[in-house]
């Protein structure tokens, strides 16, 4: 039986994962991370849509479009997490449960990364576990949706 449909949004500069500051973000590419995500979704019998954009409005458009297609979303908004009131408003507007994700532990980094515009609109935040943050977020979201087996 199907256990939920989830949209995973990757924000700006995450298309460069693999070569972008590997000491901070690891050396796994975004394509590989999406493969890990889809494999985990298969284990959870969950259908994942993944999308990356460097553009704030495109991320918002994708979230709007998913409104009636998914049960929840996982968003690594990159730097937009710290700045985007528009993305936060979009999360509230679509009414979907959203888990905010960061690969790095943003709280152990520069002070400007400690504040999230999105977090108050999300059910929770997972940060610091590299690509595994996405798998943890998936389980957290499925648990929130009541769709994770014990």
Catalytic residues: 25, 102
Report the relative pairing of strands 5-10 and 98-102 from DSSP bridges.
Answer: unpaired
The answer to whether residue 116 forms part of the interface with ligand DQA (CB under 6 A) is no
Residue 59 Cβ, how far from ligand DQA at the closest point, in Å?
13
Q: Note whether 6 and 42 are within 8 A (CB).
A: no
The answer to whether residue 106 forms part of the interface with ligand DQA (CB under 6 A) is yes
The DSSP 8-state label assigned to residue 112 in this structure reads: G
Residue 149 Cβ, how far from ligand DQA at the closest point, in Å?
28
Residue 116 Cβ, how far from ligand DQA at the closest point, in Å?
9
Q: Maximum Cα–Cα distance for the chain, whole Å?
A: 44
- Which of 34, 46, 76, 116 lies at the binding interface for ligand DQA (CB under 6 A)? 76
Q: Is 60 exposed, middle or buried (0-12, 13-18, 19+ CB in 10 A)?
A: buried
The answer to whether residue 10 forms part of the interface with ligand DQA (CB under 6 A) is no
């Amino acid at each position: 039986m199907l256990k939920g449909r989830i949209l995973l949004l990757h924000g700006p500069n995450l298309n460069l994962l693999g070569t972008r500051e590997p000491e901070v973000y690891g050396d796994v590419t975004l394509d590989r991370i999406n493969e890990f995500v889809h494999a985990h979704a298969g284990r959870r019998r969950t259908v994942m849509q993944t999308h990356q954009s460097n553009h704030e409005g495109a991320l918002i458009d994708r979230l709007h479009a998913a409104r009636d297609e998914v049960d929840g979303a996982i968003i690594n908004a990159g730097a937009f997490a710290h700045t985007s009131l528009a993305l936060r408003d979009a999360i509230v507007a679509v009414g979907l449960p959203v888990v905010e994700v960061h690969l790095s532990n943003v709280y152990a980094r520069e002070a400007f990364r400690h504040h999230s515009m999105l977090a108050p609109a999300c059910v929770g935040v997972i940060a610091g576990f590299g690509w595994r943050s996405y798998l943890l977020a998936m389980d957290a979201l499925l648990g929130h949706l009541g769709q994770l087996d014990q």
